[in-house]
Amino acid sequence: MDQFNLELSDPMHQFHLMHMEIALEEARAAEQEDEVPVGALIVSAKAGIIAKAHNQRELLKDPTAHAEMIAITQAAQYLQSWRLENCILYVTLEPCPMCAGAIVQSRIPWVVYGCMDPKAGACHSLYNLLNDPRLNHRSRVVSGVLENECSSILSEFFQKKRNNRKGSPKL
């Protein structure tokens, strides 16, 4: 895993920042829908941004409706292929085991995420599924892109949830 410490003049630094900003826009859209604010997008080497998504578990009543899963499905439909071999996945939160499994299965070679997930992270925090030599595919991982912004939106969301719960009568 590469910590995001590229020089500011490095073109990849600006590329990662630009795309993580778009993922953050998706996270904000999730927050507006009272979803956990996680956003994702997939960039194809040939076609640019081919998928943008945010969490929709509450809306769709679907435990698999994570931002990454939705974006992977959109990208596969766009490319008419389950193999996303020339793509980069940007996501504001470190992918969970389910999403990491989908990343492995779709052959995404690069994953760039904003903040770590100490409770469910499967790229570094709890597991390292994207670099497990027992699996048939591995992804390069870059972490910490706009880490503070990605972490803040989640912290604020859950703080509001806790505050609202404190004022609600217990059943």
Catalytic residue of the set 21, 68, 85, 149: 68
The two structure tokens encoding residue 86: 């020339």
What are residue 2's DSSP bridge partners? Answer: 142
Q: Where are the beta strands (DSSP E) in 85-126?
A: 87-93, 110-115
Known catalytic residue at 85: no
Angle at 51 between CA 78 and CA 161, to 5 degrees: 145
For residues 119 and 48, give the distance between their C-alpha atoms in angstroms, rounded to a whole number.
Answer: 32
What residues are annotated to the active site? 68
